[in-house]
Amino acid sequence: MTETNNECSIKVLCRFRPLNQAEILRGDKFIPIFQGDDSVVIGAMATHSSTLSWRIPGTEEPGGLPSMGLPRAGHN
């Protein structure tokens, strides 16, 4: 019998920055909600009622980008 892998294979890389002055004046909103240093929640638009959450690794290679392969923490 073949074993199945129940882990999600989706890999996500996120980079967040504060809104700049033009975005603030335009009325843009900062949507991500950080739940500690290693996870972020992004509320879905009104047409989709779920919330997505990922754990973000706290390690970063010197001079490089954070590691890829963020495990999905939850889906409501």
Number of domains within the chain? 1
pTM: 0.36
Average pLDDT estimate for 6-18: 74
Domain-embedded: residue 60: yes
**Within-domain flag for 14:** no
Domain that holds residue 55: 30-75
- Closest alpha carbon to 57 in 73, 74, 75, 33: 73
List pLDDT tens digits, range 24-58.
999 988 877 777 777 777 764 444 445 555 565 55
Q: Is residue 50 part of a domain?
A: yes
Kindly state whether residue 5 falls inside one of the protein's structural domains: no
| Greatest CA separation for the chain | 60
